Amino acid sequence: MTPAPAVRREGKRALVLVGGGITGAMYEFGCLRAFDDFFEGAFSSLDFDCYIGTSAGAVVGMLLANGVGPANVMDIIATSQKHPLNFRHEDIFRFDWENFRRSLGRSLAMLPAVYRYYRKHRTPFSLQSLMGLLQENLPSGLFSMKDYIRYLDSLIKQMDLATSFRGLKKELYVPAISLDLPMRTVFGDEGSRDIPISRAIAASSALPFYFEPVSIDGVDYVDGGTAQLAHVDIAINQGADRILVLNPIVPIQNDQSRVCIPSFSGGCVRIAEKGISYVWDQAARINSHEKLEMIVARLRVSHPWAKIVLVEPGGSDTVLFAQHILSYASRVQILDYGYRSTKSFLRERGEEMREIFLSPELHPTGGETLG
């Protein structure tokens, strides 16, 4: 006997915020300022019922859930006001020299044992083999998250924001991925609502290789975007039927007849000519964006009553691609780009946005909760 589908709760409006580092957060603030200007008070980014934020998107979601609007954030950063939101580069991350020195010390201490191993097994020496033997002494990330957590705690205290999910008036959900038992934890769900928001955000932001995993209650977590960019299913599980997804992470379409990726020496180049970091970044964007499109397409089929609006940069726009996700200097430029590109989006689809987000509730037909 087939069980009857679960009755869907009253429709909610949800905002899903993808990561993307400093540049991603600036893009999202710019987008939201454009939406707020477009709706002229009839609806705003502070009126969503729930916020789902991954990595840097979790910071944006945390501020919105506390009632801090994008116009306020943009004005503080654009005018360089002395304010905790106008953070410094070193507030967010710095190279963990202490951890590096400890790792180097452990590696040097192992060298006699490595020498004996090679001599005993008569194994031909190679740098690759040596790195394989020493790799467990390497740090688990280039940067520590301690400074980031300290900054978030200070920001929350100075702005008198909620320190835990229970203190929020709006729903906030922050996904992170358990490293040892690869599965998703959604901070903000019942059972994790007493976790400090700063630690949940840091766990969701711990991008592998760049940042060390964040340990919470003995569990090591890495970036929530490791599994998927946009956790739209969380919004649906919480009863949302109108979902706005902001995604700054798209691969560039480097058609050199229309697009120019500049090189330092001048001229336009192929991505491969920009070096290993650009190749890695483009490959990661291709993989992530492909998964995002597949997930959104599947949800639109399995939950046709849910209206999912995806806003992201155009594939031929180099503004975000040209900036590293941890870039600090480009903040104002990215804020402006997010605002202008979203204004262009709303000129084309503004009436559709009004129909979706100003309606009291879409027509419920019942639905299933996603696992």
- Of 245, 222, 237, 211, which Cα lies nearest the Cα of 60? 245
pLDDT at 151 over 90: yes
pLDDT at 370 over 70: no
Alpha-carbon distances, residue 94 vs 54, 90, 99, 163, 296 (angstroms): 21, 6, 12, 24, 36
pLDDT at 7 over 70: no
Average pLDDT of the residues in 20-38: 95
CA distance 226 to 139: 19
pLDDT-above-90 percentage for the chain: 56
Report yes or no: 247 and 311 within 8 Å, Cβ to Cβ: yes
Average pLDDT of the residues in 219-230: 90
CA distance 57 to 204: 9
Sign of the torsion formed by the C-alpha atoms of 37, 71, 10 and 292 = positive
Model pLDDT for residues 36-82, shown as the tens digit of each residue = 999 999 999 999 999 999 999 999 999 999 999 999 999 999 888 88
Mention every residue, 6+ apart, whose C-beta is less than 8 A from residue 205: 19, 55, 56, 58, 145, 148, 211, 223
Average pLDDT of the residues in 140-159: 90
pLDDT at 131 over 50: yes
Both structure tokens of 369: 């909760």
- For 292, left (φ over 0), alpha (ψ -120 to 50), or beta? alpha
- Of 347, 183, 244, which Cα lies nearest the Cα of 18? 244
Residue 272 one-letter amino acid: A
Q: State the pTM of this model.
A: 0.86
Both structure tokens of 338: 């997010």
Both structure tokens of 226: 């490791």
For helices 97-121 and 127-134, angle between their N-to-C axes, nearest 10 degrees:
120
Residue 290 one-letter amino acid: E
CA distance 295 to 228: 9
Secondary structure (DSSP) of 17-48:
E---HHHHHHHHHHHHHHHHHHHTTSS-TT--
CA distance 312 to 144: 30
pLDDT at 6 over 70: no
DSSP-derived 3-state class of residue 143:
strand
Most confident of 3-12, 242-251, 320-329: 242-251
What pLDDT, on the 0 to 100 scale, is given for residue 204? 96
What pLDDT, on the 0 to 100 scale, is given for residue 326? 57
For helices 146-158 and 197-205, angle between their N-to-C axes, nearest 10 degrees:
140
CA distance 204 to 174: 7
CA distance 356 to 87: 35
What pLDDT, on the 0 to 100 scale, is given for residue 74? 93
Mention every residue, 6+ apart, whose C-beta is less than 8 A from residue 189: 173
What pLDDT, on the 0 to 100 scale, is given for residue 101? 75
Q: Which residue has the tokens 């429709």?
A: 11
Task: State the DSSP H helix or E strand holding residue 311, giving kind and residue range, or none if neither.
Answer: strand 307-311
Sign of the torsion formed by the C-alpha atoms of 107, 112, 114 and 115 = positive
CA distance 368 to 366: 7
Report yes or no: 92 and 151 within 8 Å, Cβ to Cβ: yes
CA distance 104 to 287: 34
Alpha-carbon distances, residue 104 vs 71, 117, 145, 158 (angstroms): 46, 19, 20, 38
- Of 143, 131, 140, which Cα lies nearest the Cα of 107? 131
What pLDDT, on the 0 to 100 scale, is given for residue 128? 66
What pLDDT, on the 0 to 100 scale, is given for residue 361? 63
Sign of the torsion formed by the C-alpha atoms of 146, 90, 73 and 349 = negative
